Amino acid sequence: MPVQISGPRSLRARLVEELRAQIASGGLAAGMALPSVRRLARERGVSAFTAAEVYNVLTAAGLIEARRGSGYFVAGPRPAPPPRSASATADALWERRLEARAQPILVDAGGGWLPAAWQYGDGIRAGLRSLARRPLPTDGYGSPLGLEALRAHFATQLASRGLALSTDQLLLTQGASQALDLIVRALLSPGDRVAVEDPGYPPTLELLRARGVRLVGIPRLANGPDADALAAALKRRPVRALFTNTTLQNPTGTTTELPVARRVLELAERHGFLVVEDDIFADLAPTPAMTLATLDQCRRVVYVSSISKAISPTLRVGYVVAPPEAAPRLARLKALSALASSELAERLVLEVMMQPHYRRHLEALRRRLATTQQRVQAALLGHGVELAFRPAAGMFVWGRLRSRETVGRLWRAAVAAGVLLAPGELFRPDGRATPYWRFNVAHCDGGALGRFLDGLAERGPA
């Protein structure tokens, strides 16, 4: 029986949603033959072109399949994912998210990005319209350094914060992740000792492990990396580099204070190691924090940032600023591995950042995050979560759950309750279990998280 179609959306979109719903509910069972394109068009009062497009969308989504000479059929159940390789990293954040796909997630409390409604969607749409009125670039792959106009824009921004640099030191990348990957592969060798924050950013830890370096964990404190612990580690053995997330650190939400930054740079100068400063959350800070790169003028500091938090994580545009002798090595490696980054994406980012409303978007986003931080911190405390730090802004809170359960059982219990959490062990250099978990305050609304946490508190502390 045909389902009634109503509402302002296009006929194609409504018919796609209708058929999706019938397949999901079992009304259209696996293997069932579907009407021909002409019959579907006739029954639903749409053109044959629209009916064909509907089937194309559903085929691309894997919900139906086309059989030559026979027509369209509802696709069968998807095969189970292959068993995890014994050599795969067992604590990868991405693997945990894949494991949870089979469950309906109501609250993604441990995610690493902002909700879609918080991103600068209006700016992206305006930028796309502006680009559509211009000729497409036709000069091949583009420069491995990236779009010159965007590099100059980022250089001007950094100069306003006190970092004087040549644009030859600034390389555009496909997000901060590619920048970190290039740094690890170009500037480190297997067997090097590398200091990292504990807790720190999981993809960076994974990149370093894949490179075969030895990780030296340095505790992350309220005012930045523990400089005393770093000094003590250096007395025992030298390190090749320190990786640190300066502003609104992931996962603790803390920001490195000026005295700690100066001490870290003094140690780097005395012991001759590089400092890799990941500063992708700088745009979310209410006031600009002093960066290690500015203090050092990128003599020993390699500086990384991106626009994914300020605009959208789907726009993979970041950059790295390196000392003059290191920048060409990063550019050559980028050219070898990827030829160039996407000039179209870089042109779009420049369009967005040049819009008069972009500054207001950033100001509103910072205020919203600061307000949400305080509200979510109060709510988590009320639900029995112990907070390691009390950041005033940014996306993250590092909290201890009260439970006697193991981390694995607790994570699976949360998934069963519709809550996706990020276990603290994923953020640790040694992968050891910890009762702390990362919370993304922008995703912590909703009753499911509160009910789950209240259930833990009722069962008593660990």
User: pLDDT tens for residues 362-392?
Assistant: 999 999 999 999 999 999 999 999 999 999 9
pLDDT at 105: 78
Q: What pLDDT score does 89 carry?
A: 38
How far is Cα 286 from Cα 282, in angstroms, rounded to an integer? 9
| Contact status, residue 418 vs residue 349, Cβ threshold 8 Å | no
Judged by average pLDDT, the poorest of 36-45, 251-260, 344-353 is: 36-45
| CATH number 1.10.10.10 given to 11-74 | yes
Q: For residue 77, what pLDDT is reported?
A: 63
> 216-230, 337-351, 437-451: which has the highest mean pLDDT?
216-230
For residue 83, what pLDDT band results from cuts at 50, 70 and 90?
very low
| Average pLDDT of span 180-189 | 96
Which fold, 93-112+360-459?
Aspartate Aminotransferase, domain 1 (3.90.1150)
Confidence of residue 95 (pLDDT cuts 50, 70, 90): low
Output the six-digit token pair for 8: 């302002």
Q: Which helix (H) or strand (E) holds 233?
A: helix 227-236
pTM beyond 0.75, yes or no: yes
Q: Looking at per-residue confidence, does 49 or 376 come out higher? A: 376
Please say whether the beta carbons of 305 and 113 come within 8 A.
no
Average pLDDT over residues 102-115: 84
Q: By CB neighbour count within 10 A (0-12 exposed, 13-18 middle, 19+ buried), where does 456 fall?
A: buried
Q: Which of 95, 101, 115 is nearest to 423 (CA)?
A: 95
Cβ contacts of 425 within 8 Å, gap of 6 or more: 91, 407, 431, 432, 433, 434
The 10s digit of each residue's pLDDT in 221-270 is: 999 999 999 999 999 999 999 999 999 999 999 999 999 999 999 999 99
Quick one: CA dihedral 23, 29, 35, 36, positive or negative? positive
Checking if the pLDDT of 90 tops 60, the result is: no
Structural domain boundaries of the chain?
11-74, 93-112+360-459, 135-353
pLDDT of residue 80: 42
The two three-digit tokens of residue 74, written as one number:
């509802």
CB distance 376 to 368 below 8 Å? no
| DSSP state string for 309-329 | TTT-TTS--EEEE--TTTHHH
Query: What does the pLDDT average to over 196-204?
Result: 96
Q: Select from 1.10.287.70, 3.40.50.720, 3.40.640.10, 3.40.50.300 the CATH code of 135-353.
A: 3.40.640.10
Which pair of structure tokens corresponds to residue 185? 């592969």
Output the pLDDT for position 16. Answer: 86
User: Which of 11-20, 405-414, 427-436: highest mean pLDDT?
Assistant: 427-436
Between CA 426 and CA 437 the distance in angstroms is 9
- Single-letter amino acid, residue 44: R
At residue 442, the 3 state secondary structure works out as: helix
Q: What number is the average pLDDT over the span 206-211?
A: 95
Topology alike, domains 11-74 and 93-112+360-459:
no
Rounded distance between C-alpha atoms, residue 120 and residue 365, angstroms? 9
Percent of the chain at pLDDT above 70?
A: 90
Task: Evaluate if residue 204 carries a pLDDT over 60.
Answer: yes
pLDDT bucket at 103, cuts 50 / 70 / 90: low
Please, which pLDDT band fits residue 309 given cuts at 50, 70 and 90? very high
How high is the pLDDT of residue 100? 56
Q: Alpha-carbon distance 315 to 268, whole Å? A: 34
Give the residue-averaged pLDDT of 320-330: 95
Residues 401 and 437 sit within 8 Å (Cβ to Cβ): yes
Answer yes or no: is pLDDT of 446 > 60: yes
